[in-house]
Structure 1
Amino acid sequence: MTEHSKDNEQQESVLTFPCEFPVKAMGKSGEDFDAKVVSIIRQHVDDIKEGAVTTNTSKGGKYTSVTVMITATSKQQLDKIYQSLNDDSDIVMTL
């Protein structure tokens, strides 16, 4: 990576790494939706701490949102996490 590339990357990101970062995914409620989201994130994160996962069900019960608090190490890591989540057909939205 050139110095110019590093400068551009730093300017693009307002985050300072490493940092605590909430990754949120939403999809149709199902028995293992939360486990699937955590499994996908684990592919890119070394350690997910106890209590880092919260789950909420929509008012009608049709959708579930899963938030996983991670220690993000780089913008590239976050990009890979979101790409993997968005590639999964059960996940309808990520934040």
Structure 2
Amino acid sequence: MTDAKSVTIEFPCERYPIKVIGDAGEGFVDLVIEILSRHAPGLDVGTLVLRDSRNGRYQTVQLLITATSIDQLQDINSDLRATGRVHMVL
């Protein structure tokens, strides 16, 4: 049995899910796509799944990327969080 804390990712990892939760509003989805495209060239926006919170205050944007390294994932997280609109990156 594998402990969730000890899961190992082998790179490159195709179809790696990135879920971004942030303040809903104009340009949020485009912002997420722009940042992910910068770090994951060839991003397939056809994998985009968008969900609104019940009250419409937050949006969840999920996309699949090709993850190439831990550094790439950390850079994605840092750039998304630096926008001030993103609350969580999973």
Q: TM-score, normalised by structure 1?
A: 0.80
Pair 1:42 & 2:45 matched: no
Structure 1 residue runs of 5 or longer lacking an equivalent are 1-11
Pair 1:83 & 2:83 matched: no
Note the 1:60-75 alignment, pairs <5 A. 60-75=55-70
8 Å CA contact retained: 2:45, 2:63: no
Kindly report structure 1 stretches of 4+ aligned residues shifted beyond 4 Å: none
8 Å CA contact retained: 1:29, 1:64: yes
Q: TM-score, normalised by structure 2?
A: 0.84
**Structure 1 vs Structure 2 CA RMSD:** 1.5
Aligned equivalents of 2:63, 2:46: Cα separation in 1: 9
Deviation for aligned residue 1:32: 1.4
Greater CA radius of gyration, 1 or 2? 1
Identity %: 33
1:18 maps to a residue whose letter is: P
Structure 2 residue runs of 5 or longer lacking an equivalent are 1-5
SS in 2 for 1:67: strand
- 1:2-52 per-position Cα deviation (integer Å, ceiling 9, x unaligned): xxxxxxxxxx87101111211111111102111111111111111111412
Q: How many residues align?
A: 84
